[in-house]
């Protein structure tokens, strides 16, 4: 792994970026093929992770890819990610809800089981819908991406271009920029339900995905990745609880409507004397219990976030700068790679041995 990371850092930036993107594209393709196996519960998750890594790579190094990867395949990948979000939200909700049963009364478990069943039905429905769409769209994007990632143009001139410089300088600039964004967003978080906290989680993921392909080349790299995972998991659970609260509120309304219909039906049933209607276990107590546990967990998570990650003088920018070795400035790292020049060479990107 260290050898591969070192090789990527020393290669021309335009080559390394393409090799990394090709690897994520291959991983996403294999994971999507596994979604046809109903026993493979992790297939869609693995596909989403590979897709996020691929999109981060295309976004972070977009100037190096403009001559081969246009806006259309990147937009398709974004639409695919959006299509899987509702499945991911339902899976996260079920993962959080199921362990609650051990601490609930029998009456509260009635509401919990009803909510779990309701979300599971939604998950199955969304999964069927999104998989058909994802297979079709990803196939179209893959054809365009593979062609664009296979070759690139290099301008021949006296001054180095963004295609000439080693990848080490480019990843250095990209990681520092992403770390600055993460620091800025964390500095704006004020309460647990801030939208900025969700954006900080995304920024943390992007920083991790920028570093991961080459992190093995640096002695303290894995420790930084683990810290990024920790803050990402914390912010992720906060966001999942916010999404679950929206589902809970909708469920409370549905449960109340169903209960009202039951009472009306009982009152209108001539064979059932007034005052002798059957009692049904209500779902409300379970839903309220879930809501209280959610709020308690949110307070715990935000207390941990504030204690360990907010207002810390040890910023991510400083940590990333300390991790990465000093490199020469990258002259054209943030400007589009020229695609039309009087003298260009077309390079084919081979896979590393």
Query: 5 and 213 in contact (C-beta within 8 Å)?
Result: yes
User: Tokens 């080459």, residue?
Assistant: 214
Query: 286 and 107 in contact (C-beta within 8 Å)?
Result: yes
Sequence spans of domains, the chain: 2-270+280-348
pTM above 0.75, yes or no: yes
Q: Which residues contact 295 (CB under 8 A, 6 or more apart)?
A: none
Task: Tell me the C-alpha distance between 252 and 115, whole Å.
Answer: 9
pLDDT value at residue 275: 52
pLDDT value at residue 272: 55
The dihedral through the CA atoms of 88, 90, 92, 98 has a sign that is: negative
Question: Residue 197's CB: how many other CB atoms inside 10 A?
Answer: 25
Write out the H or E segment, with its range, that includes residue 155: strand 151-155
pLDDT value at residue 333: 43
pLDDT value at residue 337: 33
Mean pLDDT per block of 10 residues along the chain (353 residues) reads 84 91 95 90 93 94 82 89 90 94 91 93 89 87 87 65 77 92 92 87 95 90 94 94 91 79 70 51 83 94 92 83 69 38 40 45
- CATH number of the 2-270+280-348 domain: 1.40.20.10
pLDDT value at residue 136: 86
Write out the H or E segment, with its range, that includes residue 232: helix 221-268
pLDDT digits (tens, 9 = 90+) for 167-224: 998 999 899 999 999 999 999 998 887 789 999 999 999 999 999 999 988 888 899 9
Q: CA distances (Å), 36 to each of 33, 47, 96, 240, in order? A: 6, 12, 26, 27
Question: Residue 19's CB: how many other CB atoms inside 10 A?
Answer: 20
Instruction: State the virtual CA torsion across 38, 41, 44, 50 in degrees, nearest 10.
Output: -130
pLDDT value at residue 32: 93
Query: 12 and 166 in contact (C-beta within 8 Å)?
Result: yes
């Amino acid at each position: 792994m260290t050898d591969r990371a070192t090789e990527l850092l020393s290669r021309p930036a335009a080559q390394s970026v393409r090799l990394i993107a090709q690897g994520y594209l291959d991983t996403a393709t294999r994971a999507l093929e596994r979604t046809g196996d109903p026993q493979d519960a992790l297939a869609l998750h693995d596909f989403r992770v590979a897709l996020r890594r691929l999109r981060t790579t295309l976004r972070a190094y977009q100037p190096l890819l403009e001559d081969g990867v246009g806006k259309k395949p990147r937009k398709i990948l974004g639409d695919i990610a959006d299509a899987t979000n509702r499945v991911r939200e339902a899976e996260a909700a079920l993962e959080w809800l199921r362990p609650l049963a051990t601490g609930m009364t029998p009456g509260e478990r009635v509401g919990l089981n009803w909510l779990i069943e309701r979300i599971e039905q939604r998950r199955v429905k969304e999964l069927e819908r999104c998989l058909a769409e994802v297979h079709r769209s990803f196939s179209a994007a893959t054809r365009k991406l593979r062609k664009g990632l296979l070759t690139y143009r290099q301008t021949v001139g006296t001054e180095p271009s963004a295609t000439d410089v080693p990848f080490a300088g480019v990843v250095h600039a990209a990681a520092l920029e992403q770390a600055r964004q993460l620091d800025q967003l964390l500095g704006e978080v004020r309460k647990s339900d801030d939208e900025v906290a969700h954006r900080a989680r995304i920024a943390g993921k992007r920083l991790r995905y920028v570093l991961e392909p080459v992190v093995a080349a640096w002695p303290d790299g894995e420790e930084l990745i683990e810290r990024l995972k920790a803050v990402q998991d914390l912010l992720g659970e906060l966001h999942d609880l916010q999404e679950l609260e929206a589902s809970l509120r909708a469920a409370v309304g549905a449960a109340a409507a169903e209960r009202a219909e039951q009472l009306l039906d009982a009152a209108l049933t001539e064979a059932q004397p007034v005052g002798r209607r059957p009692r049904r276990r209500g779902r409300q107590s379970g839903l309220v219990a879930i809501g209280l546990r959610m709020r308690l967990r949110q307070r715990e998570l935000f207390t941990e976030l504030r204690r360990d990650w907010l207002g810390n003088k040890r910023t991510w920018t400083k940590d990333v700068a300390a991790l990465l070795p000093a490199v020469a400035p990258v002259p054209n790292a943030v400007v589009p790679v020229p695609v039309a020049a009087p003298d260009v060479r077309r390079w084919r990107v081979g896979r590393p041995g």
